[in-house]
Chains A and B, each alone.
Chain A
Amino acid sequence: MTDQIPSEPSANAASNQGIVTRRRALMMGAITASAVVSIKPALAQTAGSVLNCEIPVPGNNAAGGYIAADGSVVSADTPGAFPPAGRNFSGEEVRQAMNGRTLPGTSYDQSEAYVNYIRRLQAGQSGFTCYASLQMPR
Protein backbone atom coordinates (compact mmCIF):
# COMPACT_ATOMS: atom_id res chain seq x y z
CA MET A 1 0.00 0.00 0.00
CA THR A 2 3.03 2.26 0.09
CA ASP A 3 2.40 3.64 -3.38
CA GLN A 4 -1.24 4.49 -2.75
CA ILE A 5 -1.86 8.14 -3.48
CA PRO A 6 -3.86 9.98 -0.82
CA SER A 7 -7.16 11.04 -2.26
CA GLU A 8 -7.25 14.46 -0.64
CA PRO A 9 -3.72 15.84 -0.49
CA SER A 10 -4.96 19.37 0.09
CA ALA A 11 -7.08 18.27 3.08
CA ASN A 12 -4.08 16.54 4.65
CA ALA A 13 -2.03 19.67 4.15
CA ALA A 14 -4.79 21.79 5.67
CA SER A 15 -5.14 19.58 8.76
CA ASN A 16 -1.36 19.62 9.18
CA GLN A 17 -1.69 23.35 9.54
CA GLY A 18 -4.40 22.90 12.20
CA ILE A 19 -7.30 23.86 9.90
CA VAL A 20 -10.47 21.80 10.46
CA THR A 21 -11.44 19.88 7.30
CA ARG A 22 -15.04 20.05 6.12
CA ARG A 23 -16.71 16.63 6.09
CA ARG A 24 -18.71 15.76 2.99
CA ALA A 25 -22.38 16.69 3.37
CA LEU A 26 -24.63 13.64 3.37
CA MET A 27 -28.25 13.78 2.31
CA MET A 28 -30.46 11.29 4.11
CA GLY A 29 -33.52 11.19 1.87
CA ALA A 30 -37.03 10.44 3.12
CA ILE A 31 -37.62 7.51 5.46
CA THR A 32 -39.84 5.74 2.93
CA ALA A 33 -37.60 6.48 -0.04
CA SER A 34 -35.62 3.49 -1.21
CA ALA A 35 -31.93 4.26 -1.78
CA VAL A 36 -31.09 1.21 -3.91
CA VAL A 37 -32.28 0.18 -7.37
CA SER A 38 -31.16 -3.24 -8.53
CA ILE A 39 -30.38 -3.85 -12.19
CA LYS A 40 -32.60 -6.71 -13.30
CA PRO A 41 -32.87 -6.99 -17.06
CA ALA A 42 -34.75 -10.21 -17.78
CA LEU A 43 -33.75 -12.85 -20.30
CA ALA A 44 -37.24 -12.86 -21.71
CA GLN A 45 -37.10 -9.16 -22.44
CA THR A 46 -34.01 -9.02 -24.59
CA ALA A 47 -34.40 -12.40 -26.26
CA GLY A 48 -38.04 -11.55 -26.92
CA SER A 49 -36.98 -8.80 -29.25
CA VAL A 50 -34.94 -11.28 -31.28
CA LEU A 51 -37.49 -14.04 -31.74
CA ASN A 52 -41.26 -13.92 -32.23
CA CYS A 53 -43.12 -16.09 -29.80
CA GLU A 54 -46.62 -17.48 -29.56
CA ILE A 55 -49.02 -18.67 -26.90
CA PRO A 56 -51.38 -21.63 -27.32
CA VAL A 57 -54.75 -21.47 -25.51
CA PRO A 58 -54.78 -23.85 -23.76
CA GLY A 59 -51.22 -25.20 -23.76
CA ASN A 60 -50.12 -28.75 -24.56
CA ASN A 61 -50.55 -30.03 -21.01
CA ALA A 62 -54.25 -29.09 -21.05
CA ALA A 63 -54.97 -29.88 -24.71
CA GLY A 64 -58.66 -30.07 -25.48
CA GLY A 65 -59.67 -28.35 -22.26
CA TYR A 66 -62.24 -25.56 -22.33
CA ILE A 67 -61.56 -22.09 -20.87
CA ALA A 68 -63.84 -20.60 -18.20
CA ALA A 69 -64.42 -16.84 -17.96
CA ASP A 70 -61.83 -16.57 -15.18
CA GLY A 71 -59.19 -18.32 -17.32
CA SER A 72 -59.17 -21.67 -15.58
CA VAL A 73 -59.15 -24.84 -17.70
CA VAL A 74 -62.40 -26.83 -17.31
CA SER A 75 -64.13 -29.80 -18.92
CA ALA A 76 -65.94 -29.37 -22.23
CA ASP A 77 -69.43 -29.63 -20.71
CA THR A 78 -68.91 -26.73 -18.25
CA PRO A 79 -71.64 -24.10 -18.81
CA GLY A 80 -70.33 -20.77 -20.14
CA ALA A 81 -66.86 -22.13 -20.94
CA PHE A 82 -65.21 -21.40 -24.30
CA PRO A 83 -63.63 -24.02 -26.59
CA PRO A 84 -59.85 -24.14 -27.15
CA ALA A 85 -58.60 -21.42 -29.49
CA GLY A 86 -58.32 -22.65 -33.06
CA ARG A 87 -54.87 -21.12 -33.41
CA ASN A 88 -51.91 -19.91 -31.37
CA PHE A 89 -51.75 -16.20 -30.63
CA SER A 90 -48.59 -14.19 -31.27
CA GLY A 91 -46.92 -12.21 -28.50
CA GLU A 92 -47.93 -9.03 -30.30
CA GLU A 93 -51.60 -10.06 -30.51
CA VAL A 94 -51.62 -10.87 -26.79
CA ARG A 95 -49.96 -7.56 -25.94
CA GLN A 96 -52.66 -5.69 -27.85
CA ALA A 97 -55.36 -7.76 -26.15
CA MET A 98 -53.97 -6.76 -22.79
CA ASN A 99 -54.23 -3.15 -23.91
CA GLY A 100 -57.92 -3.35 -24.81
CA ARG A 101 -58.26 -4.99 -28.23
CA THR A 102 -59.80 -8.44 -28.56
CA LEU A 103 -57.77 -11.40 -29.72
CA PRO A 104 -58.24 -12.04 -33.45
CA GLY A 105 -61.25 -14.19 -34.31
CA THR A 106 -62.80 -14.04 -30.85
CA SER A 107 -65.79 -12.35 -29.22
CA TYR A 108 -65.23 -9.89 -26.38
CA ASP A 109 -66.08 -12.41 -23.62
CA GLN A 110 -64.08 -15.18 -25.29
CA SER A 111 -61.05 -12.89 -25.56
CA GLU A 112 -61.37 -11.93 -21.88
CA ALA A 113 -61.42 -15.61 -20.90
CA TYR A 114 -58.37 -16.38 -23.03
CA VAL A 115 -56.44 -13.41 -21.65
CA ASN A 116 -57.28 -14.52 -18.12
CA TYR A 117 -55.93 -17.96 -18.97
CA ILE A 118 -52.71 -16.38 -20.23
CA ARG A 119 -52.38 -14.24 -17.11
CA ARG A 120 -52.48 -17.40 -14.98
CA LEU A 121 -49.65 -19.15 -16.84
CA GLN A 122 -46.85 -20.52 -14.68
CA ALA A 123 -43.23 -21.27 -15.49
CA GLY A 124 -43.01 -24.58 -17.37
CA GLN A 125 -46.31 -24.15 -19.19
CA SER A 126 -46.45 -23.51 -22.91
CA GLY A 127 -46.56 -19.80 -23.59
CA PHE A 128 -45.19 -18.69 -20.22
CA THR A 129 -41.84 -17.44 -21.57
CA CYS A 130 -43.69 -15.57 -24.31
CA TYR A 131 -46.08 -14.00 -21.77
CA ALA A 132 -43.18 -13.04 -19.48
CA SER A 133 -41.40 -11.25 -22.33
CA LEU A 134 -44.47 -9.04 -22.81
CA GLN A 135 -44.15 -7.63 -19.30
CA MET A 136 -40.99 -5.71 -20.07
CA PRO A 137 -40.88 -2.51 -22.09
CA ARG A 138 -39.57 -3.34 -25.54
Chain B
Amino acid sequence: MSDQNFRLSTMTPKYRAGPKDDLIWHELDSMTLLFHRPSGNTHMLADPAPALLEVMDSGLLTAAEIATRLKARFDVESGADTDDIISARLEELAALGLIAREAG
Protein backbone atom coordinates (compact mmCIF):
# COMPACT_ATOMS: atom_id res chain seq x y z
CA MET B 1 0.00 0.00 0.00
CA SER B 2 1.38 3.45 -0.88
CA ASP B 3 2.03 5.99 1.89
CA GLN B 4 -0.85 8.13 0.66
CA ASN B 5 -3.37 5.27 0.74
CA PHE B 6 -2.19 4.32 4.21
CA ARG B 7 -2.71 7.86 5.50
CA LEU B 8 -6.20 8.08 3.96
CA SER B 9 -7.30 4.80 5.49
CA THR B 10 -6.15 5.90 8.95
CA MET B 11 -8.17 9.14 8.56
CA THR B 12 -11.44 7.34 7.83
CA PRO B 13 -13.54 7.34 10.96
CA LYS B 14 -14.98 4.05 12.15
CA TYR B 15 -17.96 3.57 14.39
CA ARG B 16 -18.89 1.00 16.99
CA ALA B 17 -22.24 0.46 18.70
CA GLY B 18 -22.49 -0.52 22.36
CA PRO B 19 -24.18 -3.69 23.61
CA LYS B 20 -27.77 -4.02 22.43
CA ASP B 21 -28.83 -4.43 26.08
CA ASP B 22 -27.73 -0.84 26.75
CA LEU B 23 -30.72 0.38 24.77
CA ILE B 24 -34.45 0.26 25.48
CA TRP B 25 -36.60 1.07 22.46
CA HIS B 26 -40.20 2.26 22.38
CA GLU B 27 -42.18 3.08 19.26
CA LEU B 28 -44.46 6.11 19.29
CA ASP B 29 -46.74 7.09 16.43
CA SER B 30 -44.28 9.39 14.65
CA MET B 31 -40.95 8.94 16.43
CA THR B 32 -38.98 6.22 18.19
CA LEU B 33 -38.00 6.67 21.82
CA LEU B 34 -34.69 5.38 23.07
CA PHE B 35 -33.55 5.05 26.69
CA HIS B 36 -29.76 4.80 26.92
CA ARG B 37 -29.02 2.92 30.14
CA PRO B 38 -25.37 3.90 30.65
CA SER B 39 -26.19 7.63 30.60
CA GLY B 40 -29.81 7.54 31.77
CA ASN B 41 -30.69 9.84 28.86
CA THR B 42 -33.87 9.59 26.83
CA HIS B 43 -33.76 10.48 23.13
CA MET B 44 -36.39 10.75 20.39
CA LEU B 45 -35.19 9.41 17.05
CA ALA B 46 -36.47 9.84 13.51
CA ASP B 47 -35.42 7.80 10.48
CA PRO B 48 -32.71 6.91 9.62
CA ALA B 49 -31.23 6.98 13.15
CA PRO B 50 -32.96 3.85 14.57
CA ALA B 51 -32.07 1.91 11.42
CA LEU B 52 -28.40 2.86 11.73
CA LEU B 53 -28.30 1.57 15.31
CA GLU B 54 -30.10 -1.59 14.22
CA VAL B 55 -27.52 -2.56 11.56
CA MET B 56 -24.46 -1.71 13.66
CA ASP B 57 -22.85 -4.05 16.18
CA SER B 58 -19.76 -4.24 18.39
CA GLY B 59 -17.42 -4.30 15.39
CA LEU B 60 -15.66 -1.21 14.05
CA LEU B 61 -17.31 -0.16 10.78
CA THR B 62 -16.73 2.70 8.36
CA ALA B 63 -19.65 4.83 7.19
CA ALA B 64 -19.42 3.10 3.81
CA GLU B 65 -19.68 -0.35 5.42
CA ILE B 66 -22.67 0.78 7.46
CA ALA B 67 -24.28 2.22 4.30
CA THR B 68 -23.89 -1.15 2.59
CA ARG B 69 -25.58 -2.94 5.48
CA LEU B 70 -28.35 -0.35 5.54
CA LYS B 71 -29.12 -0.79 1.83
CA ALA B 72 -29.17 -4.57 2.22
CA ARG B 73 -31.63 -4.45 5.16
CA PHE B 74 -33.83 -1.55 4.04
CA ASP B 75 -35.28 -0.11 0.87
CA VAL B 76 -33.31 3.12 1.20
CA GLU B 77 -34.81 6.27 -0.32
CA SER B 78 -32.57 7.01 -3.28
CA GLY B 79 -30.68 10.27 -3.56
CA ALA B 80 -27.34 11.68 -4.59
CA ASP B 81 -26.12 12.41 -1.06
CA THR B 82 -27.33 9.28 0.78
CA ASP B 83 -23.81 8.36 1.85
CA ASP B 84 -23.16 11.90 3.09
CA ILE B 85 -26.39 11.82 5.07
CA ILE B 86 -25.34 8.54 6.68
CA SER B 87 -21.99 10.09 7.67
CA ALA B 88 -23.73 13.14 9.14
CA ARG B 89 -26.15 11.03 11.18
CA LEU B 90 -23.32 8.81 12.45
CA GLU B 91 -21.45 11.88 13.64
CA GLU B 92 -24.63 13.02 15.39
CA LEU B 93 -25.06 9.68 17.17
CA ALA B 94 -21.39 9.73 18.19
CA ALA B 95 -21.67 13.27 19.58
CA LEU B 96 -24.57 12.11 21.77
CA GLY B 97 -22.61 9.14 23.09
CA LEU B 98 -24.95 6.59 21.52
CA ILE B 99 -22.13 5.10 19.40
CA ALA B 100 -18.35 5.34 19.67
CA ARG B 101 -16.20 6.90 16.98
CA GLU B 102 -12.61 5.82 16.61
CA ALA B 103 -10.00 6.95 14.11
CA GLY B 104 -9.55 4.09 11.65
Residues of A near any B CB (own CB < 8 A) = 22-32, 34-39
Q: Report if A35-B81 is in contact (Cβ < 8 Å); known contacts: A23-B75, A26-B70, A26-B75.
A: no
Contact mask for chain B residues 45-82; partner A; CB cutoff 8 A; 1 contact, 0 none: 11111010000000000000000001001111101011
Which of B8-16, B18-26, B87-95 lies at the binding interface?
Answer: B87-95
CB distance from B54 to the nearest CB of A (A): 10
Q: B residues touching A (Cβ–Cβ < 8 Å)?
A: 31, 41-49, 51, 70, 73-77, 79, 81-82, 84-86, 88-89, 92-93, 96, 98
Q: Which residues of B contact A37 (CB under 8 A)?
A: 31, 43-44
Q: Hey, which chain B residues are within 8 Å of A31, CB to CB?
A: 81, 84-85, 88
When the two chains form their complex, are residues A39 and B74 in contact, meaning their CB atoms are under 8 A apart? no
Contacts of B75 in A (CB 8 A): 22-26
Residue in A closest to B79 when the chains form the complex, CB atoms: A28
